[in-house]
């Protein structure tokens, strides 16, 4: 009765059907001509489900509660598409109800869960399909749970591989940075050693005739070279080497 009273609140859709549903209302989509027969089929289904020990409820759409399982169903009339020529020469599709009604499980799991219905026998056939569908649900849930576990395990492996690759890249970057610092230190040390050698050679050459006077310009120049070499050399400079132990 609630379903019948809800008809006045609905409009005919583009497919020529009146779609009913929602809390407290049976889920059905049919043309105005087919709605009375659709209600008759639903009445048969309500009685047959009760006879089999189940119940029909409408929390939000139509569900059958049977043998500890809940299955959502709907009754819908098919509509066929017809192509017509419009005034602007473009083809246009229109849909027309066919009068053929079918019960189906929502969401539909294979074509086996959809049954065209024209009489009581067809309603019985639909309920038999639901019975078989309910029998398969535990296995389907186990399969879905297995797929979910496998997917989670795969994601965990991908995450671990990603973390490992990230760690390897981080370690390589650290090693590369250490290598760059070491290379720079070696280059600086080599420059410092060459400066010291140059300073020693200069001092030896300039002092071969007589000692270099302390405080002279040449003495200051030699002292500055040694000072610069000490600060350039990563071993002796005040801030220490860029690489290795502190």
What is the full DSSP assignment across 54-102? -EEE-SSSEEEEETTEEEEEEEEEEEEEEEEE-TTS-EEEEEEEEEEEE
Confidence band of 109 (pLDDT split at 50, 70, 90) = low
Q: What is the model's pLDDT at position 2?
A: 84
Confidence band of 114 (pLDDT split at 50, 70, 90) = confident
At residue 246, does pLDDT exceed 50?
A: no
Give percent of the chain with pLDDT exceeding 90: 65
pLDDT (tens digit, 9 = 90+) per residue, 179-217?
Answer: 999 999 999 999 999 999 999 999 999 988 889 899 999
- What is the distance between the alpha carbons of residues 102 and 21, in angstroms, rounded to a whole number? 16
SS3 category, 118: coil
Question: With b meaning 16 or more CB within 10 Å and e meaning fewer, what string describes 176-203?
Answer: eeeeeeeeebeebbeebeebbeebeeeb
**The pair of three-digit structure tokens given for residue 158, joined into one six-digit string:** 């991908």
CA dihedral sign of residues 65, 67, 70, 74: negative
At residue 42, does pLDDT exceed 60?
A: yes
- The mean pLDDT of the chain is 88
- What is the distance between the alpha carbons of residues 141 and 145, in angstroms, rounded to a whole number? 6
Give percent of the chain with pLDDT exceeding 70: 92
Cβ-contact 32, 12 below 8 angstroms: yes
| Phi and psi at residue 98, to the nearest 5° | -105, -15
What does R_g of the chain's alpha carbons equal in angstroms?
A: 44
CA distances from 95 to 44, 78, 167, 211 (A): 29, 10, 60, 115
Q: What is the model's pLDDT at position 243?
A: 58
Confidence band of 93 (pLDDT split at 50, 70, 90) = confident
CB atoms within 10 A of CB 82: 10
């Amino acid at each position: 009765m609630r379903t019948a009273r809800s008809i006045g609140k609905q409009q005919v859709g583009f497919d020529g059907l009146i779609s009913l549903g929602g809390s407290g209302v049976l889920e059905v989509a049919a043309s105005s001509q087919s709605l009375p027969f659709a209600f008759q089929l639903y009445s048969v289904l309500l009685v047959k489900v009760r006879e089999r020990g189940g119940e029909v409820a409408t929390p939000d759409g139509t569900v059958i509660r049977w043998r500890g399982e809940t299955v959502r169903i709907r009754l819908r009339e098919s509509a066929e598409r017809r192509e017509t020529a419009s005034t602007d020469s473009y083809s246009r599709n229109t849909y027309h109800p066919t009068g053929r009604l079918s019960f189906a499980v929502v969401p539909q799991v294979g074509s086996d869960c959809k049954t065209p219905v024209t009489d009581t026998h067809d309603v019985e056939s639909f309920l038999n399909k639901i019975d078989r569908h309910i029998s398969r649900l535990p296995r389907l849930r186990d399969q879905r749970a297995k797929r979910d576990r496998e997917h989670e395990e795969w994601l965990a492996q991908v995450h671990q591989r990603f973390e490992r690759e990230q760690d390897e890249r981080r370690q390589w970057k650290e090693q590369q940075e250490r290598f760059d610092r070491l290379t720079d230190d070696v280059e600086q040390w080599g420059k410092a050693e060459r400066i010291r050698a140059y300073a020693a050679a200069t001092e030896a050459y300039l002092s071969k005739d007589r000692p270099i006077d302390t405080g002279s310009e040449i003495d200051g120049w030699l002292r500055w070279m040694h000072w610069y070499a000490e600060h350039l050399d990563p071993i002796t400079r005040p801030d220490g080497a860029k690489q290795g132990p502190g």
